[in-house]
């Protein structure tokens, strides 16, 4: 896996102490739907996440040859699934593929500030403006803006920025928010009524990460 390395002697910028730091541990891959389902199924039978991870590692549930890769992937999947309530976790295990992908993407957005800000500041506004093409310039402006606000982004190397873009596009495509990694046309998901009502129990605004307008959210909840 490409490690995110900072440029040497990068200038620092003041930032809000209360702001959640950016994490880029999603560079392990993309959404990992089958792997997340396997861990979620095990989590349904265990109240202790430490036990879930121990059993998954001992049984090599994710079929990783290297111990370090297995540990890293299990840790990342655990942190994503821990963003879900117990009811959401049960729903995730039993739902159809479309709902599973959409709920997992919501969990990913809950975990990663950088991804949810990309959705809220770039992709959702484009869709609401009837612009469904994601361009390299959209990413460039987003990275520039975040770099001006945060040393964590400003200190990324060009190689790391390129890798982050690649993984983000793949995640969006696997979550069905892009039609493909090549054309990168934005697709508006159509979440089920059951998923909408479930997510709304935690925070209806999370549905914005599925590119819904505020009016869509009100109508689907009613």
pLDDT digits (tens, 9 = 90+) for 141-176: 999 999 999 998 999 999 999 999 999 999 999 999
For the ranges 47-61, 97-111, 129-143, which has the lowest average pLDDT? 47-61
Residue 67 has pLDDT above 90, yes or no: no
What tokens appear for 193 in the block? 């009524």
CA distances, 28 to each of 83, 145, 213 (Å): 18, 24, 31
DSSP, collapsed to helix, strand or coil, labels residue 195 as helix
| Contact status, residue 170 vs residue 30, Cβ threshold 8 Å | yes
Q: How far apart are the first and last CA of the chain?
A: 45
Distance CA 98, CA 75 (A): 24
């Amino acid at each position: 896996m490409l490690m995110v390395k900072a440029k040497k002697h990068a200038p620092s910028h003041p930032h809000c102490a209360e702001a959640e730091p950016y994490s880029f541990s999603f560079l392990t891959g993309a959404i990992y739907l089958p792997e997340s389902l396997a861990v979620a199924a095990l989590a349904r039978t265990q109240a202790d996440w430490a036990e879930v991870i121990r059993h998954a590692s001992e049984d090599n549930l994710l079929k990783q040859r290297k111990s370090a890769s297995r540990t890293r992937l299990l840790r990342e999947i655990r942190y994503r699934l821990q963003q879900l309530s117990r009811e959401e976790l049960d729903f995730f295990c039993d739902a159809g593929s479309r709902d599973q992908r959409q709920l997992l993407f919501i969990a990913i957005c809950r975990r990663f500030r950088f991804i949810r800000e990309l959705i809220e500041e770039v992709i959702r506004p484009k869709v609401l403006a009837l612009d469904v093409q994601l361009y390299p310039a959209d990413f460039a402006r987003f990275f520039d803006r975040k770099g001006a606000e945060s040393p964590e982004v400003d200190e990324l190397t060009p190689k790391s920025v390129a890798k982050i873009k690649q993984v983000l596009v793949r995640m969006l495509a696997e979550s069905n928010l892009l039609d493909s990694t090549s054309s990168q046309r934005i697709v508006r998901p159509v979440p089920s009524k059951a998923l909408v009502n479930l997510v709304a129990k935690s925070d209806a605004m999370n549905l914005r990460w599925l590119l819904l307008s505020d009016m869509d959210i009100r109508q689907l909840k009613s």
